[in-house]
Amino acid sequence: MMKAKILVTGGAGYIGSHTVVELVNNGFEPIIVDDFRNSDRGVLNGLKEITGQDIQVLSVDICDKKALFEALEDVNALGVIHFAAYKAVGESVQNPLKYYENNIGGLVNMLAWSREKKINNFIFSSSCTVYGEPKNVKEVSEEMATGIANSPYGETKVIGETILRDFKKSGEDMNIVALRYFNPIGAHPSSFLGELPLGKPNNLLPYITQTAIGIHHELTVFGNDYDTIDGTCVRDYIHVVDLAIAHVKALQFLTKYSSSTVEFVNVGTGKGTSVLEMIQLFEKVSNQQLGWKFGPRRDGDVTEIYANPLKANNLLGWIPKYSVEDAVLHAWNWEQKLRKNE
């Protein structure tokens, strides 16, 4: 029996690679589209170790429409999972044009290709940044207003969701789910896949693990005067494997859906963890002290936000199985394995 092919843009990235594993685990045949500008080819070795398969890879810049259409000319797929985008909040504040050109141009081209190929199932990698700074509420649900992002990166996700709505309103016969991620952390429990940030990490947990392993002298905590439990920012941290599984659940939902739809779904645990709580959790899991200091606030950071995950639970049948402590342990195991192999 032929396996259904799923095109995964940015499939060599952090979330994309873990989703490729879960697609294989659920009987799909993923095809990675990635030009490796923001990822490492060593990821392909990790994918083979876990899946026992050589995953097909098409190396092309999705922002180059002519090259994209040529590279994918003979590809037919059941669906597209579109990850490929720049994602560093701070960098987007410094270089907004880079983010608008890449994140929006890539999405438009992938939708155009999907329309030409009559591909009916499309999953978009969105973000909780579309909610901006929630007013008088910390738990956010899909019914809340969006469009007030705190950074150009977040704005590209707001615009991306608007494009999906307009595309659907135009009468396109396509099922779409936009997954609004909260904060993915951790690594595959096997330690063959994990987060590989280029340069100094923008995300907290790899910054913690790299500091603990000796790559950085100390960790800087950006801001200690926020209106939170301990003055530091609070986030909804979700294990990357749970997030990967959510994409498979979304795909299964779309392929069973008879009439075309567009859905926006939070993917988070519904629980917040502060930066200091994350440091304490790491020290507990690793049994070592971490060097850190307070620094000034960082542009674009939201004070406190976590998901109302009921829609993901009810619509997709998705419930996370890993805890934040599991994610910290898996990230630390991954970091240690990386350095051992250097």
Length of the chain: 342
Average pLDDT over residues 89-110: 95
Determine whether 153 is an active site residue: yes
User: Which pLDDT value is given to residue 1?
Assistant: 67
pTM for the complete prediction? 0.96
Alpha-carbon distances, residue 108 vs 75, 111, 164 (angstroms): 18, 5, 9
Nearest to 176 by CA among 259, 255, 254, 258: 254
User: Which pLDDT value is given to residue 23?
Assistant: 98
User: Which pLDDT value is given to residue 258?
Assistant: 65
Of 14, 99, 131, 153, which one is the catalytic site residue?
153
User: Which pLDDT value is given to residue 13?
Assistant: 96
Contact assessment for residue 15 and residue 240, using Cβ atoms and an 8 Å cutoff? yes
Contact assessment for residue 163 and residue 242, using Cβ atoms and an 8 Å cutoff? no
Checking if the pLDDT of 107 tops 80, the result is yes
User: Which pLDDT value is given to residue 298?
Assistant: 86
Backbone angles phi, psi at 12, to 5 degrees: -95, 0
Checking if the pLDDT of 198 tops 90, the result is no
Segment holding 57, helix H or strand E? strand 56-58
Q: What is the pLDDT of residues 287-301, one digit of tens each?
A: 999 999 999 998 778
User: Which pLDDT value is given to residue 281?
Assistant: 97
pLDDT band at 132 (very low <50, low <70, confident <90, very high): confident
User: Which pLDDT value is given to residue 116?
Assistant: 96
User: What percent of the chain is modeled with pLDDT above 70?
Assistant: 99
Alpha carbon distance 9, 148 (integer Å): 27
pLDDT band at 283 (very low <50, low <70, confident <90, very high): very high
Contact assessment for residue 193 and residue 187, using Cβ atoms and an 8 Å cutoff? yes
Q: What is the pLDDT of residues 59-74, one digit of tens each?
A: 999 999 999 999 999 9
Q: Which one is predicted more confidently, 172 or 147?
A: 172
Nearest to 105 by CA among 148, 57, 163: 163
Average pLDDT over residues 164-180: 94
Q: What is the pLDDT of residues 217-247, one digit of tens each?
A: 999 999 999 999 999 999 999 999 999 999 9
